[in-house]
Amino acid sequence: MVFSIFRSLLFALILITTVVSQSFAYEVVQVCARYLNSNKAYTVEAQVYDGGDLNRRTNSFNYDYFSTYVVIFWAQGQATVIDMGSLIGGTIGPFGARGTDQQGRPWEVREGHLFCF
């Protein structure tokens, strides 16, 4: 009886661990993304990942595990991935932070969209 309960608990733990390790953690936020080369600002929805999650999501090792990434999907198959570096708490915040996209172009991204200019 005790062995049967232990075996059931062990199976449940393995199942939960497998499901959790396969999931992707990201946050969806409204942001003001300003492209610094043209100073044009965009109010968009973005997904915020840490590098490890983005590597798992893309099946690659292209992203730094200690960085935070903002991914903006403009249209089907068109996205900008902005490396925000190591942010405190992994959040962008209302004051924003600067980062660079995959071509090295500078961006400033902040949460919220009420004052996006």
Give tens-digit pLDDT for 41-92: 999 999 999 999 999 999 999 999 999 999 999 999 899 999 999 876 667 8
Cα distances from 52 to residues 37, 63, 67, in angstroms, run: 29, 7, 9
| Long-range pairs of 53-62 with CB within 8 A, sequence gap ≥ 24 | 53/24, 53/25, 53/26, 54/81, 56/24, 57/24, 57/26
8-12, 17-21, 72-76, 113-117: the lowest-pLDDT one: 17-21
Return the bridge partners of 106, or none: 100
**Helix (H, G, I), strand (E, B), or coil: what is residue 6?**
helix
Residue that is written with structure tokens 């960085």 in the block = 67
Across the chain, mean pLDDT equals 83
Mean pLDDT of 19-48: 85
Amino acid making up residue 113: H
Domain map (residue ranges) of the chain: 25-111
Record the tokens describing residue 39, joined without a space: 């100073």
